[in-house]
């Protein structure tokens, strides 16, 4: 119930204005977002890489409505990739891209062209691109664009969401050699017709999908903070004889950092998803919806400002 309310608020410009201008918001954002500038992203990346982690960087922004905004997002990724290469942070750091930020909603071909340029820039510095997955109305379009991108940039990765009923079948399609798939639970509000609604059903689907990916020939990226799913991931890695170079765990910046370190200590590849930029509203609201207890951060921030 609270999750639905928060996810509905994530689409409201009025609530966005309220949250963005609240004096305590900065402290809360800082926990989940590396900062507003490219330098902040580079700093966070360097710290994580020094600690033995891999990174995927997300320049925040989504649901872009104009070509100018979409091109500005593309240009930021091109600049970021150049700087990552120059700093010697590739291939440890790659980028995650939302096609809606590149114009998918108003012109798929335009979004594809922008994504292609980002993939070429990633190739030039020896790293990869993963296409984030957004709400279910974009899944087919995103997978179509993925197929086209992979013709010239075969290492381009996809995200599949275990809460969607279609995902087990999508995992089968994308479990061939060379295919990089990030498996997550899914962060949007979706109708029952397309998505499992209970946490138990989503978890069961996650395990089925993980089994398909870990048994396949591709490169699974298990994106979850859920201790039970991580333990099952470790078990499947042993079962399918996947050493750390043949799959990875992924977590979000600021969430369960001690668990991230533990897994690195166990010898696993762990990639942290590092968001940066000033368009943090939708991202932050999805993090709050996943764990309404995070609202406590707002509470504490308010109290500490008094």
Ligand X SMILES: Cc1cc2nc3c(=O)[nH]c(=O)nc-3n(C[C@H](O)[C@H](O)[C@H](O)COP(=O)(O)OP(=O)(O)OC[C@H]3O[C@@H](n4cnc5c(N)ncnc54)[C@H](O)[C@@H]3O)c2cc1C
Active-site annotation, residues: 132, 182
226 binds ligand X (CB under 6 A): yes
Residue whose C-alpha is closest to residue 57's, from 25, 29, 89:
89
End-to-end CA distance of the chain: 30
Interface with ligand X in residues 265-304 (CB under 6 A): 273, 287, 290-291, 294
Q: Which residues contact 85 (CB under 8 A, 6 or more apart)?
A: 124, 125, 126, 127
Q: Does 161 bind ligand X (CB under 6 A)?
A: yes
Of residues 169-188, those binding ligand X (CB under 6 A) = 182, 184-188
**C-beta of 153 vs 287, nearer to ligand X:** 287
Please, what is the minimum distance in Å from the beta carbon of residue 99 to ligand X? 11
Nearer to ligand X, 73 or 250 (CB): 250
Could you give the 3-state DSSP secondary structure of residue 112? helix
In whole angstroms, what is the distance from residue 195 CA to residue 253 CA? 26
Please state, in angstroms and as integers, the Cα–Cα distance from residue 270 to each residue in 30, 111, 156, 157, following that order: 22, 29, 18, 16
- Applying CB under 6 A, what is the total number of residues that bind ligand X? 24
For the CB of residue 226, give the shortest distance to ligand X in the complex, in Å.
Answer: 4
Q: How far is the CB of 94 from ligand X (least distance, A)?
A: 11
Question: Angle CA(133)–CA(137)–CA(140) in degrees, nearest 5?
Answer: 70
- Please state, in angstroms and rounded to a whole number, the distance separating the CA atoms of residues 131 and 293: 29
Question: Least CB distance from residue 32 to ligand X, whole Å?
Answer: 8
Please give the residue ranges that form the binding site for ligand X (CB under 6 A). 132-133, 159, 161, 182, 184-188, 223-226, 250-252, 255-256, 273, 287, 290-291, 294
């Amino acid at each position: 119930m609270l999750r639905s309310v928060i996810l509905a608020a994530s689409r409201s410009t009025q609530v966005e204005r309220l949250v963005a201008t609240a004096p305590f918001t900065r402290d809360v954002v800082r926990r989940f977002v590396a900062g507003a500038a490219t330098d902040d992203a580079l700093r966070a990346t360097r710290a994580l890489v020094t600690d033995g982690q891999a990174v995927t960087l997300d320049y925040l922004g989504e649901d872009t409505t104009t070509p100018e905004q979409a091109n500005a997002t593309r240009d930021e990724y091109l600049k970021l990739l150049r700087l990552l290469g120059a700093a010697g942070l590739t291939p440890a750091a790659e980028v995650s891209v939302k096609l809606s930020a590149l114009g998918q909603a108003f012109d798929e071909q335009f979004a594809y062209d922008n994504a292609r340029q980002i993939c070429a820039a990633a190739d030039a510095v020896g790293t990869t691109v993963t296409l984030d997955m957004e709400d279910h109305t974009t899944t087919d379009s995103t997978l179509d664009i993925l197929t086209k991108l992979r013709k010239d940039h075969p290492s381009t990765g996809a995200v599949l969401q275990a809460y969607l009923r279609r995902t087990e079948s999508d995992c089968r399609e994308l479990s061939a050699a060379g295919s990089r798939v990030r498996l997550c639970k899914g962060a949007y509000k979706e109708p029952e017709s397309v998505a499992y609604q209970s946490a138990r059903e989503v978890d069961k689907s996650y395990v089925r999908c993980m089994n398909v990916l870990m048994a396949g020939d591709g490169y699974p990226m298990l994106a979850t903070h859920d201790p039970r799913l991580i333990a099952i991931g470790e078990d499947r890695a042993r079962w399918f004889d996947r050493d750390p170079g043949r799959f990875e765990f992924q977590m979000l910046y600021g969430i369960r950092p001690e668990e991230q370190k533990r897994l690195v200590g166990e010898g696993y590849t762990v990639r942290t998803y590092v968001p940066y930029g000033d368009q943090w509203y939708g991202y932050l609201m999805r993090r709050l919806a996943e764990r309404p207890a995070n609202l406590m951060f707002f509470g504490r921030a308010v109290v500490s400002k008094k």
